[in-house]
A and B are shown apart, each in its own frame.
Chain A
């Protein structure tokens, strides 16, 4: 962890909260607010969003004001590989079937580390795919196609 002149952890959290709060206020701008005795659907979201905004301002301010911890460098390899693995599963599961989607997801996830060996990964992906089909489709009756339609 590096030291930095701003507290990056606080700053990023503050900005994140501000973004969420603003987004909520925009998304709920057309909902009736009502009043305490008869609350409309917009009452609670608005109250919570305003409180979040206050926290956002606090953390952003504190992050800028005080020196603090930096952020450990982001390693893209595991991040992208895991996200891609989930994404590919979501794209292929219903179209190409669970068997294919599982192999693709496991292979992609394995790229997250350099330790993987290709032959081992392929073999393991096929075994896992078979196990997943057996367990989820045959045993538990998950309504998902096994093969491409």
Chain B
């Protein structure tokens, strides 16, 4: 059994003491940012990238991955107890989870959320492991032509499935591509758009851009709307759900896991789509839909399972093909590149220890999260008492030092400041910055593969259509774009994404 051998190899990497420690650090930090509203996983991962330089690639990825799925877990605590989503993905959990807390069933809601997440995490790990092998075999047939088409698919799919206007997202991808072109051109050695600034010759660092756009821009916008937080005061009585609760929740957990696993693989779906779809599904299937919104346990179990499964399966495109499904995965690609690993379709065959180590660590991390989240829930609740007025200056300071630390350059700090302004501008005009980050990270690879493909084909554009794999990929791109134009799909997309 090749799959079995691979998983064993992964486990041997994941269970090394130092990797266990980094996994634990990742999930603890992840839970903390999940619990605290006001800072998301993207700026946190960006902030922590400089710390990972000294680590082995596997340890770095294990820790960063832990932050991501840890945040999905932690978000539900805040949603249930405070009725504020700690994370975008737990918006739905607020509805019935907080209602349960108000009825004195906070402990049950927290426990169900954690158990659902753990179940989903375990199943998603298996899905990743099973899917990885055939995908990596396919990936070995890729040349520059196919890889270019694949990158186009990654970008377009991310746009189509993401929040907000498709046209705006497309424009943002282009903007990101453009920023990715800044620096010395690899093949001719000519400086492009560097404006004579030496710090730009290596290209724009994406960490200051991510921190500025996602971290600081968001903080400025947050400060404009005064938010109040009220923790449900009654003590959490029992964390052990009754047999009846478990029986009611279990089918929802299974459906949520299946739905989340599928939606997670799709690029761009990311955080919001799986839990919303699961909630809608549970409500539709329920014998008495009117219970929803009044503390229905399925309304917590399904979405929590879906969001955790989705968070994990969104690693599939990254780990098997080397293309990111969302902005966070783009940062992960950046982390790999900083480690000197060229992401691409060969990643699985060239870095099996890394890939399988990360996959196995996810299950280990999920086990840790179950332990961290349930018995220690009191600790996380007390973290909610840190007032925002103290929290945000600390985040700003750490962002400054973090960006500086990437290249010991003050230029990056100025760049982050500029991006904070632009990020705020984007929020004001209602544009999502995530596609920009994808374009920025994929831009250089897109250009390189395009130029190489054109060189192979002697400038003949039809090469992208005459090669079968590339043609199929581009057909999917065309289908996605056409589907976006159809009014029926536009309507369901709006419903699915409506908050």
Contacts and interface: CB of A to CB of B under 8 A. Distances in A.
Interface of A: 8-10, 12-13, 16-17, 20, 24, 27-28, 31-32, 35-42, 44-45, 48-49, 51-52, 55-56, 58-59, 69, 71-72, 74-75, 77-79, 82-83, 85-87, 89-90, 93-94, 98, 101-102, 105-106, 109-110, 112-113, 115-116, 120-121, 124-125, 128, 132, 136, 140, 142-144
Contact of B223 (A20, A24, A78, A142): A78
Contacts of A121: 393
B389 interface: yes
17 contacts: A8-B429, A9-B431, A12-B429, A37-B454, A37-B459, A38-B455, A41-B192, A52-B171, A52-B178, A55-B174, A58-B167, A75-B224, A79-B424, A93-B400, A113-B223, A113-B388, A142-B401
- Is chain B's binding surface mostly helix, strand, loop or mixed? helix
A105 B216 CA distance: 13
B488 interface: no
A27 B195 contact: yes
A97 B457 CA distance: 55
Contact of A86 (B170, B216, B405): B216
Contacts of A72: 224, 428
Given A24-B193, A94-B410, A86 B400 contact: yes
A123 B196 CA distance: 42
Interface stretch (B94-102, B143-151, B415-423): B415-423
Contact of A112 (B177, B185, B392): B392
B350 interface: no
B414 A90 contact: yes
List of 8 A-B pairs having minimum Cβ-Cβ separation, nearest first: A37-B459, A78-B223, A41-B185, A36-B459, A109-B393, A55-B171, A90-B413, A86-B417
Given A109-B392, A144-B408, 12 more contacts: A9-B429, A9-B431, A16-B425, A28-B192, A44-B177, A45-B192, A45-B193, A52-B171, A75-B223, A125-B393, A128-B394, A142-B404
Contacts of B421: 79, 83
Q: Give the residue among B171, B181, B195, B410 with the most A Cβ atoms within 10 A.
A: B171
Contacts of B216: 82, 86
Given A79-B220, A140-B51, A110 B389 contact: yes
Given A52-B178, A83-B420, A128-B393, A71 B429 contact: yes
A89 B178 contact: no
A21 B394 CA distance: 36
Nearest to A42: B192
B393 A78 contact: no
Contacts, number: 178
Nearest to B404: A93
B497 interface: no
A105 B416 CA distance: 14
Nearest to B221: A78
Given A12-B429, A85-B393, A105-B396, A44 B181 contact: yes
Given A17-B171, A37-B455, A93-B404, A48 B177 contact: yes
B447 interface: yes
Contacts of A35: 459
A109 B188 contact: no
A98 to B, nearest CB: 7
B458 interface: yes
A143 B408 contact: yes
Given A37-B455, A89-B400, A93-B413, A142 B408 contact: yes
Contacts of B220: 78-79, 82, 112
Contacts of A142: 401, 404-405, 408
**What is the interface of chain A mostly: helix, strand, loop, or mixed?**
helix
Nearest to B219: A82
Nearest to A88: B400
A1 to B, nearest CB: 10
Nearest to B450: A44
Interface in B183-200: 185, 187-188, 190, 192-193, 195
Contacts of B175: 17, 20, 52
Contact of A45 (B168, B178, B219, B417): B178
Contacts of A101: 400
A48 B174 contact: yes
A133 to B, nearest CB: 10
A8 to B, nearest CB: 8
Given A28-B193, A41-B185, A13 B431 contact: yes
Nearest to B458: A37
A94 B404 CA distance: 10
B485 to A, nearest CB: 15
Nearest to B181: A45
Nearest to B451: A39
A36 B461 contact: yes
A27 B193 contact: yes
Contacts of B168: 13, 59
A41 B178 contact: no
Nearest to A73: B224
A142 B171 CA distance: 38
Contacts of B405: 136, 140, 142
Interface string B66-98: 000000000000000000000000000000000
B192 to A, nearest CB: 6
Interface string B280-311: 00000000000000000000000000000000
A36 B396 contact: no
Contacts of B451: 39
B206 to A, nearest CB: 17
B430 interface: yes
